[in-house]
Amino acid sequence: MGGDEFMEVNELMNLIVNNGFPVAVAAYLLIRLEKQINSLSSSINKLNTIISAKLGVALDVDSSDDSHKVA
């Protein structure tokens, strides 16, 4: 167990004590699932690009927001 993981455990314990069990569980799940959420987001963006290329629709992928407006 590394130093960063130990801090996360201490922070999680403080959440349980101060804010209750439901908040601590939600925080734990967000920490654990962040990598998978980022991976899924990347896969969705790739699929969006492939499908739009197959349909011949140009996407504005340089926009600063995540809405991917049709050009």
Instruction: Determine, yes or no, domain membership for 21.
Output: yes
Instruction: Determine, yes or no, domain membership for 30.
Output: yes
Instruction: Determine, yes or no, domain membership for 55.
Output: no
pTM over cut 0.75: no
Instruction: Determine, yes or no, domain membership for 53.
Output: no
- Give SS3 for 70: strand
CA gyration radius, the chain: 19
Q: Helix axis angle, 3-19 relative to 21-55, nearest 10°?
A: 120
- Quick one: pLDDT at residue 8? 80
Q: 48: closest CA among 70, 18, 20? A: 70
Query: Looking at per-residue confidence, does 6 or 14 come out higher?
Result: 14
The tens digit of pLDDT for each residue in 17-60 reads: 887 888 778 888 888 888 899 999 999 999 999 999 999 887 76
Query: Which residue's structure tokens are 């991917």?
Result: 68
Q: Could you give the number of structural domains in the chain?
A: 1
Instruction: Determine, yes or no, domain membership for 65.
Output: no
List C-alpha distances in Å: 62 to 3, 26, 49: 38, 33, 13
Structure tokens, 19: 């804010």
Domain limits for position 23: 3-41
Instruction: Determine, yes or no, domain membership for 57.
Output: no
